[in-house]
Structure 1
Amino acid sequence: MRVQLHCIARIRVVYLKEVDLLASLIVQSSSRRAPLLLGPQHRDKM
């Protein structure tokens, strides 16, 4: 049981890291390529 929880926790950490990386890449590319798509109100919140 504890081993299973540990594995799930590790998978979640890796998954969150990958999602964070993907999100930052998307934000970088979108801010570089299409700032008009986001609009000024969305950029202020980030």
Structure 2
Amino acid sequence: MPQLNRLAWIVTVGICVITALIMLISGYTGYAGVTLAVAVAAVINLF
């Protein structure tokens, strides 16, 4: 079960990073920053 939890956090981080990149390309810098902050918070749960 711990491996499934870790996989879920990795997927969450990946989705947040991809979303932030799309927002940056679209010009939504503020929202991209918030999404990156969420990704960083999710990375903390991997350790």
TM-score per shorter chain, which class? 0.5 to 0.7
% identity of equivalent residues:
0
**2:8 maps to which of 15, 18, 26:** 15
Which has the higher Rg, Structure 1 or Structure 2? 1
Partner letter of residue 21 of structure 2? Q
Gapped runs of 5+ residues in structure 1? 1-7
The equivalent residue for 2:20 is 27
Partner letter of residue 11 of structure 1? L
What RMSD in Å do the two structures reach over aligned CA positions?
Answer: 2.3
Please report the TM-score for the alignment, with normalisation by the length of structure 1.
0.57
Aligned length: 34
Please report the TM-score for the alignment, with normalisation by the length of structure 2.
0.56
Gapped runs of 5+ residues in structure 2? 38-47
| Bigger helix fraction | 1
* Structure 1 runs of 4+ with >2 Å offset: none
Q: Tell which has more relative contact order, 1 or 2 (C-alpha 8 A, sep 6+).
A: 2
